[in-house]
Amino acid sequence: MKTSTKKLSKQEMIESKPNKIIMDTLANEPKVWIIHLIATFIVLAIMYWSKGAINFRGIQSNGVVIAKNIFTGLINPDWSLLLNLTRQGIPFVLMETLAIAFLGTFIGAILAIPLAFISASNMVSKHFTWLGVFIIAAIRTFPPFVYGIMFIRVTGPGPFAGVLTLAITSIGMIAKLYIEAIEDIDKKILESLDASGCNTIEKIRYGILPQLMTNFVSTVIYRYEINIKNASILGLVGAGGIGAPLIFAMSAYRWREVGAILVGLIILVLIVEYFSTAIRTKLARG
């Protein structure tokens, strides 16, 4: 190492004699590399700390077999279950998942409206926006599945609990996006409506709603897409949807059934995602 630096400086002398200003500029190079080094060190330290807890006890003795079974189940699912149109079939559970997500999103989207209006800085005095913001933060405190467990105490196990869970957990994100849309409102239109003699309700109907509508609809559709995935895990806590049959099939080691459920879920999510993206792009382009 030492010899190479020596060599280099010799080479410098021979090749060029850099003037003083250049050498000064070189010496003034900001020392960003120190920050980078510290950041890298911190990340490595955190990684090392985390490593301690990940006790890899090796793949379970039959883990490889199970992985293989799930994979073959995915490739060759239980078709009779996938195409079974009765209440035991996958299409029914998927419909149920769609319905849970739909009602949950719908209720959440409606509850979020008043919350968003009292939290938008251009609608209420700055001193009151904290209330809405606090409510949103408070709701977000609990993970969704905790709400699921709590609502099961209210409604008993089943999709109803799922609906309530999704309604509550959707409020936070939907309200947040609503607030952004409301704060972007062009208030000049309201002035011109004032000038033409509109009352408050007419101002909201013709001045505010048209500006918010596309944005709100787009938000709700996006949340619906997310809620499909959320609805599918609620079954794991007994709150309806496709999660429950999945957990049963897995604990009974019925891998082709597992495959059929996963295939159904994948197709459902892909279809919803496709339409959601298509509608939202159309809305964005007007």
Q: Smallest distance from the beta carbon of 125 to other proteins, in angstroms?
A: 26
Nearer to other proteins, 182 or 225 (CB): 225
Q: Smallest distance from the beta carbon of 60 to other proteins, in angstroms?
A: 5
Q: In angstroms, rounded to a whole number, what is the distance separating the alpha carbons of residues 173 and 126? A: 21
Nearer to other proteins, 181 or 220 (CB): 220
Are residues 227 and 105 in contact, defined by beta-carbon separation less than 8 angstroms? yes
Q: Can you tell me whether residue 158 is helix, strand or coil?
A: coil
Q: In angstroms, rounded to a whole number, what is the distance separating the alpha carbons of residues 125 and 117? A: 11
Within the chain, strands assigned E span none
Are residues 188 and 123 in contact, defined by beta-carbon separation less than 8 angstroms? no
Nearer to other proteins, 25 or 80 (CB): 25
Token pair belonging to 171: 């409020």
Q: Smallest distance from the beta carbon of 36 to other proteins, in angstroms?
A: 8
DSSP state at residue 56:
-
Nearest 10 degrees: Cα torsion 263, 266, 269, 275: -90
Nearer to other proteins, 64 or 83 (CB): 64
Are residues 81 and 260 in contact, defined by beta-carbon separation less than 8 angstroms? yes
Nearer to other proteins, 131 or 146 (CB): 146
Q: Smallest distance from the beta carbon of 207 to other proteins, in angstroms?
A: 18
Q: Smallest distance from the beta carbon of 166 to other proteins, in angstroms?
A: 10
